[in-house]
Amino acid sequence: MAHGASAVANTVHLEFPSLPENVGFARAAVALFASRLDFTLDELEEIKVAVSEAVSNVVVHAYPEGPGPVRVEATVTPQGELVVRVADQGRGIEDVARACEASFTTRPGEHLGLGLTFINEYADRLEVNSAPGQGTVVTFTKRPQMAAVHRE
């Protein structure tokens, strides 16, 4: 069993308004929770970037009429993986596959469109579930690479 993992999953739940100032809060909270595992400092930075990008996407895109709820759930599995879910009840994504393409943005000139690309680059697994008017759930999984080396 990986350092920091237990026989049962451990999950924390955060909920806050989709305001820019809350991106850093989510980033720090998930990184602190993840630090119980055998992540390197570089891996913790990757987790911070992934959380920041997922929450920033909610802030920028989900609620055009004003702030709405963001739910962040971080779980340490019994296998020592970190699973992070960022969910909103916003306008959703029409074309998830296209949204995952590098440089795709609905706001050219304002944003680079690299959020999901960064998350995909830093995570071991990425799943995006969304439909117009139904909100979006971004789930990513990260395993400590040192733990993988110890298992081999």
The per-residue pLDDT for 112 is 44
Residue at 88 is within a domain? yes
The per-residue pLDDT for 69 is 98
If you search the block for the tokens 């799943």, which residue do you land on? Answer: 127
Residue at 37 is within a domain? yes
Strand partners, 75: 11, 83
Residue at 4 is within a domain? no
CB atoms within 10 A of CB 140: 24
Residue at 3 is within a domain? no
Domain CATH for 104: 3.30.565.10
Q: How far apart are CA 58 and CA 99, in angstroms?
A: 13
Which structural domain, as residue segments, surrounds residue 76?
Answer: 10-151
Residue at 2 is within a domain? no
Number of structural domains (the chain) is 1
Nearest one of 145, 126, 152 to 80, comparing CA atoms: 145
The per-residue pLDDT for 3 is 59
The per-residue pLDDT for 140 is 96
Residue at 5 is within a domain? no
| pTM for this prediction | 0.83
Residue pLDDT tens, the chain, 152 long = 555 666 788 999 999 999 999 999 999 999 999 999 999 999 999 999 999 999 999 999 999 999 999 999 999 999 999 999 999 999 987 756 555 555 555 554 555 444 677 788 889 999 999 989 999 999 999 999 875 544 44
Residue at 83 is within a domain? yes
The per-residue pLDDT for 81 is 96
Strand partners, 74: 12, 84
Cβ atoms of 147 and 2 within 8 Å: the answer is: yes
